[in-house]
Structures are given as structure tokens and as C-alpha cells.
């Protein structure tokens, strides 16, 4: 058996290969032993799952191990979004949650995400402890289980539907009055994931005219990838045009990420969404620290500077943003890969919340998102961001990393280097405010190259300059 390791957001693997019932039980036993070591066994653990193949069966296997260790469980009655499961941890004062999901990965994948008692992604010190427990469990080959019927009879299992309390909480974060006045026409695309019945129901109750595509459960996600990127949202673009909607709102497989289509069919990138939401919250008079990952747009820095707000830069992974939210009053925290949370919410990325807030912006502004973005460009400058993956052999990857760490250039692409950031990979900030980040993948033979400059042409030149510098 290959090593089971927790990545940026839990453990993920291909079903029937690494992701098996036997391995799920091993991981769950390790989580149980972590909870027992932390003396959290007197509180229940929420078990949630997405729309993937055998999801309910894997959830039952998790329940049998946790209850076998004397830990009570609250199992969601049906497939549930990750942020809703996380909110249920807070709502029910639980020890944490086990979420069975592979998020936006292909349908053959599944995964386990452990959500601690603070209702956000597990921080590295927690996953490290679980991995240590896992090594001990594998060595001992001892897993405690209790058949689900026995667990039910002993009162160790309850079934919950956290939807109502979550939507009630959403009402506190989203201005439903302005939505009711505007009666927006929107199209919702859950991409066959668990977001179905959340964004659409909330906006319908708020008075919007809602059409839904790809809303039914499909473990194969319609033959597509449940990742709301520009390339994967063609059907949403067509639907927005056909019904004359003012905005299209999508989610990934477990609804912790978002995808936005403007009324003209343009894809609004996560970086642009973060900028739009930050400006909107500031306009509403809300204040707090702005937190972004090292790979996310610096337009947020300009906004923080203008309003005299603290800006924090974290490594890639929402767990680091969630960690900041535990320590500070964070206005907004987000990442370029499509995760965000805001002040007053749990420290977990939430695609349902993001979609509803974007609807609020459209209702408030009474114009397209593209027009709002243009106004922000006039105020804060133009920022264009792009990421490319440089595929390479393991040996080539080592060479690239060595060249990155020994980089001695004083300028790149005709602009002087003013800052080097090594919080996650190597990031170089240039005098003209453009920047690039080289970050190796932890699981694949590739290096990710992120770049940001004033426009697409300048980003292309910067990418070419970096490739030339590293002899790629």
C-alpha cells in the first residue's frame, strides 16, 4: 500500500485503487485516535458526503469506526456541501467533521477531509498528528468497529439535515432585501454536485427568478470535470444567453468553490471575484484584514493600501486563510483557485456564499460585473493574472527548483526585482508591480508558474522571460 498522505485539503485517491473501504477505515481509526488523544471524545463528529459513487456506504464505514471507538456521530441525511458540513460543526458544538469528498477532482476520485472543531480546514499540525496516528494504526493493524445497527441502538448515531440552519445563517450575511427588490434573473449550475438545492433555493426564496442546469445527482458529473473553470462552464454560458439572465452562478462538486459567468457570457475569474467582493464589502462600510494566498492578485494589496487595512499573504491552501480567520477579524480571505470566506462566516471556503454575494453585487449595482470591474481598474490599476503548468520529468523538476533557489538576476523582463518571497515556492515582485511565482506541485511532475501584470500581453512576455531564465 502506498503512503496515505494529507495534501492541501485532505487525502484524495482513486476509488478501488487507494481509496478503498479498508483504507477509509484506517484513516478514520487514525482520526478517532487523534480525537481521543485531544480528549474530544465527549463531543459528536459530523459525517458528510458528496454525490460520488458509494458515498453513503463510505459514510457508514466512517460511522462504524468512530462509534466503535465510542464517539457519537451525526450523519447528514443526504449529500451535503462541504461548507454546510463545516457550519454544522459550529452549530452543533461538535469535535469536528469527516467530509467524504474529492471536491473538483475527476469522478473516479474520492477523499477524506477532516474538519476540526473550529469549522475550517485542518491546519498542518493537526494533519501531521493524524498522519502519525495513521502510521501507528497501520503498524498495529487494529481497527475498532461497531455495526451501524448496534450503534443506532446504543444512541451513538443520529441523522441530521443542516440545510435550514445554514440557509438561515446565510440570511445574516447576504442582503436579501436588495435581492427581493431587483428580482434578478439568474442561472445556477451545480455541475451535478451537492450545491444543488442551496444557491438556487436561497435565491428563489429571496425573490430571484432562478433557472437550474445540471442540478440532478450524477456520480460521473455528466462526463465533465466538476470544476467551475472557464473551459468547463460552456453550458452555463449558453444558458445565461438563452434565458437572458444577468448572471450565471456555478459550484464545484462539493460546493466549496465558485464559478461566475457575467450576463455577456464572460467568465469572471476568482481573482476578479475577490476584487469585486472586497470592493462591495468596503462600500457597505465593513472593515478588517484582507488575506490572500501568495498566488492571488495584488489588486487586493492596492485596495488594502487605499483603505488603510492590513493585508496578509499566506502559502497556497485555504487552511492558511482559515488559520488567519481564527486569529484576526478578517474582512475577506481568498485564493485564486476559487475559494473565499468573509467576515462573520466560518473559516472555511464557501462557494454557495460566494455565489449569493455575487448576486447581491449585481442587484446592488444594477449593471454588469464587467462594468463594475472596469470602474475598479480605473481606480486601482489594471491587473491580469494567469497560471500555466510546466510539465517536466522528476529530474527536470529538481533542476528547475535548484535554479529557482540560486536565482541571482537583478532584473527580469526589463524591470528591477524589488522583492523575493519564499513563503511557498519562489515569488519575485518587480518594480513595475508585475510578479511571478514558481511553485512545484507536491504530487505531480510539474511546476506551476503564476504571473500577474497590467495586461495579457505583458503577462505573456513575463512568462517567456521566466522560461528563458530557467532554460525551459
Mean pLDDT value of segment 6-28: 89
Task: Please tell me the predicted confidence (pLDDT) of residue 443.
Answer: 64
pLDDT per residue over 55-70, tens digit each?
999 999 999 999 999 9
Q: Both ends of the chain: CA-CA distance in Å?
A: 35
- The mean pLDDT of the chain is 95
Task: Please tell me the predicted confidence (pLDDT) of residue 77.
Answer: 97
Task: Please tell me the predicted confidence (pLDDT) of residue 112.
Answer: 97
Per-residue pLDDT at 10 exceeds 90 = no
| Number of Cβ atoms within 10 Å of the Cβ of 410 | 6
Per-residue pLDDT at 455 exceeds 80 = yes
Residue-by-residue DSSP string for 90-128: HHTT-SEEEEE--TTS-TTEEEEEEEETTSSPPPHHHHH
**Sign of the CA dihedral with 123 first, then 26, 84, and 234 last:** positive
Per-residue pLDDT at 280 exceeds 80 = yes
Look up residue 56 and give its three cell numbers: 453513503
Answer with the residue of higher pLDDT: 361 or 440.
361
**Sign of the CA dihedral with 310 first, then 430, 424, and 351 last:** positive
Q: Which of 110, 92, 101, 82 is nearest to 16 (CA)?
A: 110
Task: Please tell me the predicted confidence (pLDDT) of residue 446.
Answer: 85
Rounded to an integer, what distance in angstroms lies between the CA atom of residue 437 and that of residue 420? 10
Band of the pLDDT at 471, cuts 50, 70, 90?
A: confident
Per-residue pLDDT at 2 exceeds 80 = no
Task: Please tell me the predicted confidence (pLDDT) of residue 408.
Answer: 79
Rounded to an integer, what distance in angstroms lies between the CA atom of residue 42 and that of residue 330? 31
* Dihedral pair phi/psi, residue 43, rounded to 5°: -105, 150
Per-residue pLDDT at 386 exceeds 80 = yes
Task: Please tell me the predicted confidence (pLDDT) of residue 175.
Answer: 97
Mean pLDDT value of segment 352-357: 98
Mean pLDDT value of segment 15-27: 95
Which range (89-93, 355-359, 442-446) has the least confidence? Answer: 442-446
CA angle, corner 227, sides to 401 and 357, nearest 5?
Answer: 110
Express as a percent the part of the chain with pLDDT over 70.
98
Scanning the structure block, which residue is given the C-alpha cell 530557467? 470
**Domains observed in the chain:** 11-162 (3.40.120.10), 178-266 (3.40.120.10), 269-349 (3.40.120.10), 384-469 (3.30.310.50)
Helices (H), 7-145: 21-37, 55-68, 82-91, 124-140
Rounded to an integer, what distance in angstroms lies between the CA atom of residue 157 and that of residue 176? 36
Task: Report pTM.
Answer: 0.95
Express as a percent the part of the chain with pLDDT over 90.
88
Mean pLDDT value of segment 129-133: 94
Count of helix runs (H) and strand runs (E) in the chain: 16, 21
Helices 21-37 & 55-68 angle (0-180, nearest 10):
40
Task: Please tell me the predicted confidence (pLDDT) of residue 128.
Answer: 93
**Sign of the CA dihedral with 367 first, then 368, 371, and 372 last:** positive
Look up residue 80 and give its three cell numbers: 451535503
Amino acid at each position: 500500500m502506498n503512503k496515505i498522505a494529507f495534501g492541501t485539503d485532505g487525502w484524495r485517491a482513486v476509488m478501488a485503487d487507494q481509496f478503498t473501504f479498508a483504507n477509509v477505515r484506517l484513516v478514520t481509526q487514525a482520526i478517532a485516535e487523534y480525537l481521543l488523544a485531544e480528549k474530544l471524545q465527549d463531543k459528536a463528529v459530523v459525517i458528510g458526503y458528496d454525490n460520488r459513487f458509494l458515498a453513503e456506504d463510505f459514510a457508514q464505514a466512517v460511522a462504524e469506526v468512530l462509534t466503535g471507538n465510542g464517539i457519537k456521530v451525526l450523519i447528514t441525511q443526504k449529500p451535503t456541501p462541504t461548507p454546510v458540513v463545516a457550519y454544522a460543526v459550529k452549530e452543533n458544538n461538535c469535535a469536528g467533521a469527516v467530509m467524504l469528498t474529492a471536491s473538483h477532482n475527476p469522478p473516479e476520485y474520492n477523499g477524506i477531509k477532516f474538519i476540526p472543531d473550529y469549522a475550517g480546514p485542518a491546519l498542518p499540525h493537526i494533519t501531521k498528528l493524524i498522519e502519525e496516528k495513521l502510521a501507528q494504526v497501520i503498524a498495529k493493524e487494529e481497527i475498532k468497529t461497531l455495526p451501524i445497527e448496534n450503534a443506532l441502538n446504543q444512541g451513538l448515531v443520529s441523522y441530521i439535515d443542516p440545510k435550514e440552519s445554514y440557509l438561515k445563517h446565510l440570511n445574516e450575511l447576504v442582503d436579501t432585501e436588495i435581492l427581493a427588490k431587483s428580482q434578478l434573473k439568474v442561472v445556477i449550475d451545480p455541475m451535478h454536485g451537492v450545491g444543488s438545492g442551496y444557491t438556487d433555493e436561497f435565491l428563489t426564496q429571496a425573490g430571484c427568478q432562478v433557472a437550474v442546469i445540471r442540478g440532478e445527482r450524477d456520480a460521473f458529473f455528466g462526463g465533465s470535470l466538476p470544476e467551475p473553470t472557464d473551459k468547463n462552464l460552456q453550458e452555463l454560458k449558453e444558458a445565461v444567453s438563452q434565458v437572458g439572465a444577468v448572471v450565471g452562478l456555478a459550484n464545484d462538486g462539493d460546493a466549496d468553490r465558485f464559478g461566475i459567468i457575467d450576463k455577456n457570457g464572460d467568465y469572471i475569474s476568482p481573482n476578479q471575484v475577490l476584487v469585486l467582493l472586497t470592493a462591495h464589502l468596503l462600500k457597505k462600510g465593513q472593515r478588517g484584514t484582507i488575506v490572500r494566498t501568495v498566488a492571488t492578485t495584488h489588486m487586493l494589496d492596492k485596495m488594502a493600501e487605499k483603505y488603510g487595512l492590513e493585508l496578509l499573504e499566506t502559502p497556497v491552501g485555504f487552511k492558511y486563510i482559515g488559520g488567519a480567520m481564527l486569529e484576526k477579524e478578517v474582512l475577506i480571505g481568498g485564493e485564486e483557485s476559487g475559494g473565499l470566506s468573509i467576515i462573520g462566516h466560518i473559516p472555511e471556503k464557501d462557494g454557495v456564499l460566494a455565489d449569493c454575494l455575487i448576486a447581491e453585487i449585481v442587484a446592488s449595482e444594477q449593471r454588469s460585473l464587467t462594468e463594475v470591474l472596469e470602474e475598479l481598474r480605473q481606480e486601482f490599476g489594471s491587473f491580469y493574472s494567469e497560471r500555466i503548468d510546466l510539465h517536466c520529468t522528476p529530474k527536470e523538476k529538481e533542476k528547475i527548483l535548484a535554479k529557482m533557489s540560486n536565482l541571482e538576476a537583478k532584473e527580469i523582463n526589463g524591470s528591477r526585482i524589488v522583492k523575493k518571497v519564499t513563503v511557498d515556492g519562489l515569488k519575485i515582485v518587480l518594480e513595475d508591480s508585475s510578479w511571478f511565482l514558481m511553485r512545484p506541485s507536491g504530487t505531480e511532475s510539474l511546476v506551476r508558474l503564476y504571473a500577474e501584470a497590467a495586461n495579457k500581453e505583458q503577462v505573456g512576455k513575463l512568462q517567456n522571460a521566466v522560461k528563458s531564465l530557467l532554460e525551459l
